[in-house]
Amino acid sequence: MTQALDDIRILDLTSGIAGPLGVLMLAEHGADVIKVEPPGGHRGRAQDGSVVHDRSRRSVTLDLTTPEGVALFEELCATADVVVEAFAPGTMAAFGLGHEELLSRHPQLVYCSIPAWPEGSRFAKDDGYEALVHARSGQQWEQTGFRTGPMFLHSPVASHGAMLLVPVGIMAALTARRRTGKGQHIEVSLLQGVMSLTTQVWNWTDQGSFLMERQHPPGVHQGSIFECANGEWVHASTMSGVDQTSTEGEILGFEHREQYTWLTMTPDEWEAWNSERIAAYKRWDRTELIAAFNAAGLGAEAIVAPHERFDHPQMVGTGSAVEVVDPDLGPTTQFGVPVFLTATPGAVKGPRPRAGADNDEVLGALGHDADELAELRGKGVI
Amino acid sequence: MPGPLEGLRVIDFGQYIAGPFGPMLLGDMGAEVIKIEPIRGDNMRPLVVGSFMGCQRGKLDIALDLKQPDGVRIALELIATADMVHHNMTLGTADRLGIGYEAARAARPDIIYCNNFMYGAEGPLAYKGGIDPHGQAAAGLEWEQGPVAEGGTPIWIRYGHGDVAAAMSSAAALLIALHHRERTGEGQFLWASIFHGTMLYVADSWLDADGTPTTRPQLDREQLGLSALYRLYETQDGWLQLAAVRERDWPELCRVLRVEPLVDDPRYSTEAARHEHRAVLTDELARAFGADLAVNWRRRLRAAGVPCEVSVDMLDGEHVLFDDELFRLGLVTEYVHPILGRTRQFGNLVTFDGTPAVQDRPTPRVGEDTRELLARIGYGEAEMQDLKDRGVVTWPGDDYAFPV
């Protein structure tokens, strides 16, 4: 079956999260993604996540600190539509592959940079560790917890925001290219990634800022997190979009109060009622509780550790827990393709390739014969 | 300025966040987005104005009653002029209203149509709707932020990260489908979900053949960090985020903190040793950081090449939104809203050097562009007034009562 992007070639020079995982959605809808990494493999391979983030692509090893390596990369660029890099600022320019230079030679390219901080800003060259972006962008103070002060976010939210923006940005630039005939440089900084997640709270107007307040101790959705029997947790946020045949109180065995009436209770009334409610949840087995809520049209989700998600009925029911046979690790279970295009469905194309696994095939297709490749291998270029 | 998606037209029936955020992102990049809104207003409008503006700015807006046949007809007439339709109604709702994929395709044979769900268009829970916390619970975000493994209570991550993941993944999917349509002329139905979008945040977790999961970094009980050297520390007057994760950072850190004897202490001589003695090392460093001001530690550590940053409170974003440099770079935008006046918000989430985009259109009022859009598809003044009198459409008048 044809896939939506099977005429697109992407050169992926990234490690970490935003680049490899951002490109993955494009790879699994048909794009020919070629990982271009140093001989021996890129440093991010040491992280477990790379097994997933770097799958469904081919791998070529090139030493970009050598003129031969750069020359081969330029040959690849002539066959490519997209280049994605997430190096420290100045690294690509030092290779002679900065975006202005490379686009002057290959104007068809969409050149996507993923720095921590925006190019041209006062902090462009500052350290770009994930948590430093959280700290300096204010994200740690946006998160609530059971103490005051900034919260360290376990989830690398800046990289995650950027990871989601990367395929949008690349596809938008490819859309523009169909109209203008030209590629361009685009940038998704981790700062933009983290800002994508404060879009819902950060605004300022002449009339004030209208936002859902921070709360201490944490409120809003925190109020629907409950402990069940056996120390298991449930997020019993009952909104479900379907008709409800029973109330929370009827199912759990306590006096039900409509949500809007909570606001009119005195603190003592609330405390008395809510402690009864908390005690009711504690008596319930979580699996039985979720089944009862589902049957009554209420929403409830088990709060699980990430690895437990593969057993979720919806994960199973949408075929999203996928077996991928890794060349070194053997069979693994991984999360599959997150979006569903019915005419051109995405699919996992294969495991993470070993570093340089496709040197012969990819470089051979550029016209380099076996002797030449052997020589380059001997010199450590590939 | 036009932006990369100039010429693209998107019809948006979405509400809350997961529905409208994706089309807004396409609009930010130059697409014309037409929000079709109920006469009584989007449910989010009066609920959280800031969040509403964070999903709706830049759109054209027509207020239509889709319970009336004339309302559905107008919606389909608009769809006939569009490239894409996007919304987050629960399964079957759009079909019941008469604006489902088949109806849209009849109006526009190559339409690209995306429905964003809580759980998806298939699977045992497809019939259900839901909200962001369901995704955060199911993916493990709340569990890890607790951290439950350390005896903590699960914590919901503020604010709507799962909604945004669903919205951005559907925006990417729409553009992938557009690429296919440009090559083949074929539109299609596609879907995304909060459930699947949120799962992207933990894609790095996988199981081996025995079902053994990968080891993940563990947050400490106080939500301060992942290790003694990648952590928040309280100083005399504020908090410092340390990221002294390279081997060469360790002796420099000790020198700046004036705890040189620790450098050669066998308990801390290697990364593994420092991990093993994490608790006691954290105490030693916390005591040292408590002896001076955050800004002083920041200056000295940065001079020594040790990565760190003061953790700052941006005061509901004000310090970001009025940062001259971010405004100049287009990461922050400003426009005038007819009710709220001068408004500052995030600007370009992706920067396009070749086809720069500017977000200078405000969040529309209910029916802000009803008349212009009806005129575009051929309705005259008398017809418009008749539709308004019959409650099929509306536009803002002197009695406009919404907060935005």
Residues of A in contact with B136 (CB under 8 A): 235
- Tokens read off for B226: 């992942």
Q: Rounded to a whole number, what is the distance in Å from the CA of B386 to chain A's nearest CA?
A: 34
pLDDT digits (tens, 9 = 90+) for A58-85: 999 999 999 999 999 999 999 999 999 9
Which of B159, B182, B187 has the CB atom closest to A201's CB atom? B159
Please count the CA atoms within 13 angstroms of the CA of B89 that sit on its side-chain side: 21
- Give which of B24, B51, B218, B223 to mutate to test A binding, by max A Cβ within 10 Å: B223
What order of strands is seen across the sheet that includes strand B308-310? B225-227, B230-234, B239-243, B308-310
CB proximity under 8 Å: B 371-390 to A? none
The 3-state secondary structure of B290-338, one letter per residue:
CCCCHHHHHHHHHHCCCCEEECCCCCCCHHHHCCHHHHHCCCEEEEEEC
pLDDT > 90: percent of chain B: 97
Domains of chain A: 9-199+318-378 (3.40.50.10540), 220-311 (3.30.1540)
Q: Name the minimum distance, in Å, from the CA of A369 to any CA of chain B.
A: 34
Give the single-character DSSP code of B2. Answer: B
pLDDT of the residue at A111: 98
Whether B169 sits inside 8 A of A135 (CB atoms) is: no
pLDDT at B1: 54
Q: pLDDT tens for residues A18-53?
A: 999 999 999 999 999 999 999 999 999 999 999 999
Count contacts between A and B (CB, < 8 Å).
507
Q: What is the fold of B231-310? A: formyl-coa transferase, domain 3 (3.30.1540)
Other beta carbons less than 10 A from residue A212's beta carbon: 17
Distance from CA of A269 to the nearest CA of B (A): 24
Q: Which of B153, B183, B342 sits opposite A206 (nearest CB)?
A: B342
Question: Any idea which of A210-214, B162-166, B221-225, B295-299 has the lowest mean pLDDT?
Answer: A210-214
Q: Can you say how many angstroms the Cα of residue A334 is from the centroid of all Cα atoms in its chain?
A: 14
CATH class of the domain defined by B9-201+318-394: alpha beta
- Looking only at the bridges linking them, the beta strands covering A233-235 and A301-303 are antiparallel
- Asked if the C-beta of B304 comes within 8 angstroms of chain A's C-beta atoms, the answer is no
- For chain B, say whether A201 makes contact (Cβ under 8 Å): yes
A213 three-class SS: coil
User: Do B164 and A199 make contact, defined as CB atoms within 8 angstroms?
Assistant: yes
For residue A44, how many other CB atoms are within 10 A of its CB? 18
Q: What is the pLDDT of residues B2-58, one digit of tens each?
A: 899 999 999 999 999 999 999 999 999 999 999 999 999 998 898 889 999 999 999
Closest chain A residue to the Cα of B230, Cα to Cα: A131
Token pair for B140? 């493990």
CA geometry: angle at A263 spanning A259 and A266, to 5°? 125
Region A369-380: mean pLDDT is 96
pLDDT at A1: 60
Cβ neighbours of B385 (radius 10 Å): 12
B99–A contact, CB cutoff 8 A: no
Question: For residues A180 and A169, is the Cβ–Cβ distance under 8 A?
Answer: no
Per-residue b or e along B179-216, where b marks 16 or more CB atoms closer than 10 Å to that residue's CB: bbbeeeeebbbbbbbbbbbbbbbbbbbbbeeeeebbeb
Mean pLDDT of chain B: 97
Ranges of each domain in chain B: 9-201+318-394, 231-310
A284 to chain B nearest CA, in Å? Answer: 18
pLDDT tens per residue, range B288-321: 999 999 999 999 999 999 999 999 999 999 999 9
Report whether B178 contacts B112 (CB < 8 A). Answer: yes
Q: How many residues does chain B have?
A: 404
State the best of B10, B206, B308, B351 to mutate against chain A, taking most chain A CBs within 10 Å: B206
State whether A239 and B308 contact (CB < 8 Å): no
pTM equals: 0.98
